[in-house]
Structure 1
Amino acid sequence: MLFLLFVWLSHFIQCFLSLAVDPPENLTILDPGHLGSLQIHWSPPASLLNMKDCHKRFQLEYFNTYEDQWTIIRTSKRTYSAQFDLGKQVQVRVYTLLKGSCTNGSEVKSARYTELIKEPTSTGLVGTAVQDFVCVFHRMEYVECKWERDPKQPANSLPTLYFWHNELEQTEECPKYIISNGIRSGCTFTGKSLPDFTDINFCVNGSSPEGPMKPSFITLQIQNHVKPAATQILQLQARPDTQLELSWESPAGKVPKNCLEWEVEHSEEGPDGNHLSNVIILSSLSLLRTMETLLSISDKSRICVRVRSKMHKYCANEGFWSDWSVWTCYPGNLCVYFEKGFANQSLQQQNCSIWNRTTLFHKPSPVTLYAAAGGLPSQQRPMRKQPEQVPTQHHCLFLLKPK
């Protein structure tokens, strides 16, 4: 029995060894002028053109310089479009895949591949490329893309921004440049000029008295660069049941309310002038279970609170925190605090720099957080599911009862 199995395996291996699968031919890379969106073409090997009893596919591999890793695509087509940074080397390889009666039903990949490498076009003066290119989708209403000039960039250089996406037939230039100290430092896009959930390609090049600037290529999707507006309406007041209620309204703009997560920052100072500080970062699952020790202050303590928001991971891969709201204090109406490097200003108390932080998520009803020493009601649990209708006002309850 073992001998028969050995003979069968030997015959099976010989069949595979005798089937030499050639790699594809005529591999080409075409640049239609879309700032890095390249078209890759290839042909089946001539040895397989007349083969009818096997299905031919191809394995395309290209090095993704944006993710610093190889991307692998399997397709029966003979063309593919991929995004590349034209300022770096373009490296593409393709294999032949064969499956059918000619391979006894198994898929066989060619041992060799066809490869094509294109070096970046060495245009532009060294040290003239722009730096720190960043785009921000403010309130989901307009996009600002800004950059910094290289210290080696010649004076009187004139940067130029071009962009392209799938809805455009050809590249277009920045519709409105941002001018800083007489120099182009960014571009503003308003209205529907940039679509979301699609790759947008940017190129910043330009001219200088000493020659052309070295181009910079960037690809991004604007829904991952949203910055909500700062919250304008924030209230902090005591309740008859010895709890301190914090409420605020969602910020202005077009950011979906169910796509926001919140961060609450509070500063507490006791009657002796000592600051009480405890930092708590909460996820959506631990939000209500870890709040019982967040705030417990004496009757003479003072607390200042502010909030900010951000697109959460269910709506975008990343994003920017909004600016902080102004400080609201109890007792007292307002305490405004600016980060290090700016002036401190307040109506009744200046030092609001000691803070605690809590991240909040939307719930189907207004967010209510209890900070009771006895713990939380067992029936209160955070919900991960996003609501269909989200209230525009949000609440936090903090215990004012002394320790």
Structure 2
Amino acid sequence: MAFRRIYLFTLALVWGCMASSSSQQTAVAPPQDLQITDPGLLGSLDIEWKPPPNVQTFNECTVKYKFEYRNTGDREWKVIFTRKLKFRVGFDLSRTAEVKVQTLLEGRCTNDVEVQSEWIYATFQVPLQGKLESEVQNFHCIYHDWEYLKCTWQPGLLAPRGVHYGLYYWYEGLDHAEQCDDYIQDHGINIGCMLQNLSQAEYKDLSICVNGSAAATLLRPLYATLRLQNLAKPSPPKQLMVSTSTSEGLRVVWSPPGGETPPQCLEYEVQLAEEQGKTKAVWASVSTQMETAFTIARVNQSRISCVRVRGRTNIFCADQGFWSEWTQECISVSREEDKQLFILIPVILSLSSSLIIFMLIGQCKKRTPPEKATHMSVGC
């Protein structure tokens, strides 16, 4: 009995020592000195930290970091796994920026089990001036034909007369934030901006700030982060042609729009208007596709009065986009068939008249004696 107690005690002691040793080997500290700095790039902030103090003791393990960030009010964190110690990421500066980072340790020193440290946190908030109602309203941007960005806004509710607005922008590749040099004005007030030559900003975060100034009044700036490809609006498709064929039916063919819109980035919607008697024709979508041709079965042509097509950026090039305007060409299939019938009627009548004349001539020849036939006229 005593021997059994000694055995159990020894076993517990050994297990405790092993657990303690394993715990000491796999414990890892969080990073240190997490800092957020603003380089003046309209929302792109620099986040930096230092490695944990005991990182050099883990020679047989890989040390990585899990970095997460968001704006206050966002439901989800954006996650980055990295071995770097510094990142530049975009935020909406009208809200508080939140970041957190932890150490990840894995390798022989942890028996290939990932060990995580505690999190460390940091926040950043730009001092906001002016009341919220002084911020510009209805800010809206469209990237037309992948050639130029047009942004418009309206003065804030509390903006006084004589207010002056300026739009500033930055994207990765520019040394510093730049100001718009082509404003849209209404009664001398800037209410919009046209930005050209932004191809280098495609598929990057485009940071924008619309700031206002007025005598003796503080105005709150507006911050926005855009993705150009998600704001793209192409021109309508070109050269819409509709043809009929007995075998194929109604054939609709068009060409991609002009401008810099990549043809491979477009999808199209085809709509038909069907005749409803005396009521107004009703439009119905019949196809959404990436091809530039569509065939409609012959059986449906008698009810089709018009065809139109529009385009937008497809899911392979953007998360979303704006539809173009509809093509303006319109063809009345029923009228076209009536025109063909109108052309055929005189031909049929002409053939019928000829046939009647020949039949009368034949009857006359049967009635006329052979010896007098040379003295008869064709008209009997």
Q: Same fold (TM over 0.5)?
A: yes
SS at match of 2:264: helix
Unmatched 5+ residue regions in structure 2?
1-7, 337-380
Deviation at 1:48, TM superposition (A): 3.5
Deviation at 1:107, TM superposition (A): 2.1
- 1:26 equivalenced with 2:33 (yes/no): yes
Aligned position for 2:221: 215
Deviation at 1:174, TM superposition (A): 0.6
Say if 1:113 and 1:247 are closer, same or farther in 2 by CA, change over 3 A: closer
Q: Distance between the aligned counterparts of 1:266 and 1:79, measured in 2?
A: 55
**1:174 pairs with 177, 180, 185, which one?**
180
Q: Distance between the aligned counterparts of 2:35 and 2:181, measured in 1?
A: 34
Q: Distance between the aligned counterparts of 1:325 and 1:182, measured in 2?
A: 35
Counterpart residue type for residue 43 of structure 1: K
TM-score (normalizing by structure 1): 0.70
SS at match of 1:307: strand
- 1:319 equivalenced with 2:318 (yes/no): no
Say if 1:9 and 1:122 are closer, same or farther in 2 by CA, change over 3 A: farther
Q: Distance between the aligned counterparts of 1:57 and 1:231, measured in 2?
A: 50
Aligned position for 2:125: 119
Aligned position for 1:234: 240
SS at match of 2:127: coil
More deviation in 126-135 or 48-57? 48-57
Q: How does 1:285-300 map to 2 (within 5 A)?
A: 296-298=300-302
- 1:77 equivalenced with 2:81 (yes/no): no
Aligned position for 1:140: 146
Say if 1:42 and 1:235 are closer, same or farther in 2 by CA, change over 3 A: same
Q: Distance between the aligned counterparts of 1:189 and 1:249, measured in 2?
A: 27
Q: How does 1:5-84 map to 2 (within 5 A)?
A: 13-18=19-24, 19-49=26-56, 51-64=58-71, 68-84=75-91
Counterpart residue type for residue 169 of structure 2: F
Judge conservation of contact 1:64–1:84 (CA < 8 Å) in 2.
Answer: yes
Judge conservation of contact 1:62–1:92 (CA < 8 Å) in 2.
Answer: yes
How many residue pairs align between the two structures? 325
Give the number of the structure whose residues are more often helix, by fraction: 2
Judge conservation of contact 2:71–2:95 (CA < 8 Å) in 1.
Answer: no
Say if 1:6 and 1:328 are closer, same or farther in 2 by CA, change over 3 A: farther
Q: Distance between the aligned counterparts of 1:244 and 1:273, measured in 2?
A: 24
Q: How does 1:4-403 map to 2 (within 5 A)?
A: 13-18=19-24, 19-49=26-56, 51-64=58-71, 68-110=75-117, 112-192=118-198, 195-239=201-245, 243-270=249-276, 272-274=277-279, 277=282, 279-280=284-285, 282=287, 284=289, 296-298=300-302, 301=303, 303-331=305-333
Say if 1:178 and 1:332 are closer, same or farther in 2 by CA, change over 3 A: farther
Say if 1:207 and 1:332 are closer, same or farther in 2 by CA, change over 3 A: farther
Aligned position for 1:366: none
Identity percentage of aligned residues? 33
Deviation at 1:173, TM superposition (A): 0.4
Counterpart residue type for residue 278 of structure 2: G
SS at match of 2:33: strand
Q: Distance between the aligned counterparts of 1:278 and 1:13, measured in 2?
A: 73
Alpha-carbon RMSD: 3.5
Structure with the bigger RCO (C-alpha within 8 Å, sep 6+) is 1
Q: Distance between the aligned counterparts of 1:282 and 1:302, measured in 2?
A: 15
TM-score (normalizing by structure 2): 0.74
Judge conservation of contact 2:272–2:283 (CA < 8 Å) in 1.
Answer: no
Judge conservation of contact 2:272–2:304 (CA < 8 Å) in 1.
Answer: no
Aligned position for 1:368: none
Judge conservation of contact 1:237–1:330 (CA < 8 Å) in 2.
Answer: no
Q: Distance between the aligned counterparts of 1:101 and 1:333, measured in 2?
A: 81
Deviation at 1:53, TM superposition (A): 4.2
Q: Distance between the aligned counterparts of 1:220 and 1:16, measured in 2?
A: 49
SS at match of 1:134: strand
Judge conservation of contact 1:65–1:84 (CA < 8 Å) in 2.
Answer: no
Judge conservation of contact 1:233–1:249 (CA < 8 Å) in 2.
Answer: yes
Deviation at 1:254, TM superposition (A): 1.7
SS at match of 2:229: helix
SS at match of 1:175: coil
Deviation at 1:258, TM superposition (A): 2.3
Q: Distance between the aligned counterparts of 1:6 and 1:226, measured in 2?
A: 69
Say if 1:289 and 1:311 are closer, same or farther in 2 by CA, change over 3 A: closer
Deviation at 1:219, TM superposition (A): 1.2
Deviation at 1:186, TM superposition (A): 1.3
Counterpart residue type for residue 98 of structure 2: Q
Q: Distance between the aligned counterparts of 1:305 and 1:282, measured in 2?
A: 12
Q: Distance between the aligned counterparts of 1:7 and 1:307, measured in 2?
A: 80
